[in-house]
Amino acid sequence: MPALTYKYLFLFSALLLFFGCTPEEAGEDKEAEAILSLPDRPNILWLVAEDLSPFIPSFGDSTIQTPNISRLAAEGICYDNFFSPSPVCAPSRAAISTGMYPTHIGANHMRTGPWYANISDEEAAKRSQFMPEGISFYEAVPPAGVKMMSEVLRGAGYYCTNNAKMDYQFRPSVMAWDESGRQAHWRNRDPNQPFFAVFNFEVTHESRIWRKAEDSLWVDPNLQVPIPPYLPDTEVGVKDVRRMYSNIREMDFQIGEVLKQLEEDGLLDSTIIFWYTDHGGPLPRHKRLLYDSGLKVPLIIRFPGKQMAQTRNDDLLSFIDLAPTTFSLAGVTSDYPLDGQAFLGPQARKEKRKYIRAAADRFDAQYDTNRAIRDKRYKYIRYYQPEKSMFLPVAYREQMAIMRELHRLRESGEITEIQAQWFRAQKPKEELFDTQSDPHEIKDLAQDPAYQAILAELSAECDRWVNSFEDTGLMPEPELIEKLWPSQKAPIVESPIAEMSNGKLTLSCPTEGASLAFRFKSADVQDEGASSWQVYTKPIDLEAGQQVEFIADRIGYKASTIATYNP
């Protein structure tokens, strides 16, 4: 890899000082270094834990120790205001992979289909029972030209791997990854090629609370754990919260194993490492709700050479910012407009984000329509269907013992006033919380005269956001499906066209926004999804008699048939 180095300036306002990640890790408070020195095409590694709020020492929770994550924090930047635009995984992953709001691309309902795996028709039918009656599987369809970020990076020469989650609300195109699966790894590339590698850690997922309930613990069996006021402080409740911390500890070990491999390969100081989680925590009133417990997540970034080590950043950041920031650090530009903005690298926006925005719509068979706006202190939530109960049962979550314990307490009359808030028969039209003085978002200030100016400001921003594009959660889902997949059928990408001139093969496709891929024909290549597909970015040089296969694809569409150029 070329040794060319560039430097760029981070512009922070006087208010945005960086401090040590924890008193133990940081030593004295200090302002961050403003200059970074990076290779022209650094390796980029994403370590993504599932279903986890900032329940770790680097973000103020010292219940357990996480030595590997704490190492990253001590050697990098901790971001204290990082948010998902959705409190559940599939819409969140759609935002991560495209840089677009889920409500902008039809990815807002959880979930649109079993796109995260190649499953049988029988399994698809089984999973369809979690869909509302009359709603069939479909895919999100972003505006023409929107690509998965990994495809953009592949087109720029990166080797892109995903290990192994793929529920994006759409099938990834054949151009998306060099490898995606349990064996996907940067080690499978040409050593001279820069990589973008994603590793997902499922041990902290909601389902592991009940699936691992009887497993041995990674923590002291008598560990004292904090119980938030909205959860039951009973033997059942404590057991599930303790399991959550045990799973975090196990995840930290798994993070350490990947870091060990990076060091064994001598790549630690040529790689930018992101560690974050895909939305808020796994427990009741975390996942699926628009409170910070469902949206706010930790983010740590470690740079080569420990640049900017032991620093903190409190800028408001969203998942939609991950794609443009990664492009910026990699020296890559996208050819389509993104909802997000880069916060690092030469493409970083000088103006800081004033608000984060989030949405919650259908979860399995339960419809609701809620939107949230948050600045650095106040959270505004709008409920479009206030006649519905605040609590909507989700069959998947009901498998958790602590959820069943909440039901038991409610039915026996033992539930506390705070716990009972979630079970109100109706919702207010809007809520307002001071997240600084009320981090659990218990005290609604929407009717308080002292906060009417803040309420009006955030309500107006909610109006502006949902009207800035066609919010796909504000239309009936059958209407959305008809818009995306007319007659409930996936649109099909038209056949690509090949033209030969002066020894170069030029490819095109009549379908607006379609991407193209090619591979040199070989008897060894039979699978149209094989990693041998190369992203088409410029005319292809051909040797005499050389045959080429090519294909066109677009997110939310069915790929074209494979065509062959045969001299």
Write out the catalytic residue numbers: 89
ω before 49 within 30° of 0 (cis)?
no
- Report the C-alpha gap between 471 and 303 in whole angstroms: 37
Nearest to 149 by CA among 362, 319, 295, 24: 319
- Report the C-alpha gap between 74 and 255 in whole angstroms: 15
Nearest to 128 by CA among 362, 394, 364: 364
The 540-541 sheet, strands edge to edge: 497-501, 504-508, 540-541
Q: Say if residues 259 and 68 touch (Cβ distance below 8 Å).
A: yes
CA terminus-to-terminus distance, the chain: 35
Structure tokens at 494: 């038209």
- Report the C-alpha gap between 185 and 162 in whole angstroms: 8
Q: Say if residues 76 and 273 touch (Cβ distance below 8 Å).
A: yes
DSSP 110: B
Residue 517 three-state SS: strand
- Report the C-alpha gap between 76 and 273 in whole angstroms: 9
Left (φ > 0), alpha (ψ -120 to 50) or beta: where does 502 sit? left
Q: Which residues contact 558 (CB under 8 A, 6 or more apart)?
A: 490, 491, 492, 493
- Report the C-alpha gap between 514 and 553 in whole angstroms: 5
Structure tokens at 375: 């600045």
Structure tokens at 460: 């107006």
- Report the C-alpha gap between 248 and 253 in whole angstroms: 9
**Helical H runs in 99-139?**
102-105, 121-127
Nearest to 380 by CA among 422, 441, 440: 441
- The type of residue at 152 is V
In the block, which residue shows the tokens 């009901």? 398
- Report the C-alpha gap between 262 and 256 in whole angstroms: 10
In the block, which residue shows the tokens 């109006």? 463
Strand ranges for 369-450 from DSSP E = 370-374, 378-383, 430-434
* φ, ψ (nearest 5 deg) of residue 64: -130, 170
Structure tokens at 387: 């006649």
Report the 3 state secondary structure along 216-260: CCCCCCCCCCCCCCCCCCCHHHHHHHHHHHHHHHHHHHHHHHHHH
